[in-house]
Amino acid sequence: MTTHDVVVVGAGPVGLWLAGELRLAGVWTVVLERLDEPGPAPIPCGFVRVSGYDAADQEPGRRTVTMDELRATAVRIAGTDFGMRDARWLSRFGNATRHAATYRKGRVLLAGDAAHVNNPIGGMGLNGGIQDAVSLSDRLAGILVNRDPDRLLDLYDLQRRTVAVEHVQEQSIANKKRLEASDPETRRKNLDDLRQIAADPARARQFLLRTAMIASQRRAATIELAEATP
């Protein structure tokens, strides 16, 4: 029987990235995928992606959205269902912000959305997840070489969990608040702040390093396990 050093559960973007990195590092890996909800990509020619926010339908939970519900939402918001038919993929998403208390329990490790979710505004979820995958594959490959699994896996947990809270969540929550602001005075102030940042090369650079998540990578690299003990 073939044995594998690592089993990756979930062939989402983070799982596939992790498996690819592990393969390059020579780690035997198998990917398990649950295929009950096929994803949207690639969206074939002639198809149109429709997404929206329905204030009248905010029931929490992971109910699968139906074509009739999507039609009713479109009619409620836009007054027409645009003749929608032949849906290729239907899915519901929320804007919850959460993270797991730990990314490691023994030999089970979390990465990507399984470890942390944030609202999609600012496009940081997938980027953060891929940074997890790169960090985790480094640690797993390192175990084969220097065999200090506890230290390496605890370091993965501490580094990635810290930057998920300090960078991804902080930035995505700020993005959401900026977008949601409805008071004209607050909106004007927010835009003025952004203009001032854009006009100042040093501040603009810092802003880009933060939003492109380069700053979080650099921060993660400075975190040592000693930080965990008060």
Ligand X SMILES: Cc1cc2nc3c(=O)[nH]c(=O)nc-3n(C[C@H](O)[C@H](O)[C@H](O)COP(=O)(O)OP(=O)(O)OC[C@H]3O[C@@H](n4cnc5c(N)ncnc54)[C@H](O)[C@@H]3O)c2cc1C
Binding site for ligand X (CB under 6 A): 9-15, 32-34, 37, 93, 112-114, 120, 123-127, 129
- In Å, how far are 14, 72, 90, 118, 165 from 125, measured between CA atoms? 10, 29, 20, 6, 12
Least Å distance, CB 109 to ligand X, is 12
Least Å distance, CB 158 to ligand X, is 19
Question: Would you say 40 or 188 has its CB closer to ligand X?
Answer: 40
Question: Would you say 112 or 142 has its CB closer to ligand X?
Answer: 112
Hey, which residues does 109 pair with through a beta bridge?
104
Residues 175/123, Cβ–Cβ less than 8 Å:
no
Question: Would you say 32 or 208 has its CB closer to ligand X?
Answer: 32
Q: Which phi-psi region, left, alpha or beta, contains residue 181 (left: φ > 0; alpha: ψ -120 to 50)? A: beta
Least Å distance, CB 182 to ligand X, is 22
Position with the least CB separation from ligand X: 12
Question: How far apart, in whole angstroms, are the C-alpha atoms of residue 125 and residue 118?
Answer: 6
Total residue count of the chain as it appears in this document: 230
Question: Would you say 89 or 93 has its CB closer to ligand X?
Answer: 93
Least Å distance, CB 125 to ligand X, is 3
∠ CA 192-195-200, nearest 5°, is 130
Least Å distance, CB 129 to ligand X, is 4
Question: How far apart, in whole angstroms, are the C-alpha atoms of residue 90 and residue 98?
Answer: 24
Question: Would you say 26 or 40 has its CB closer to ligand X?
Answer: 40
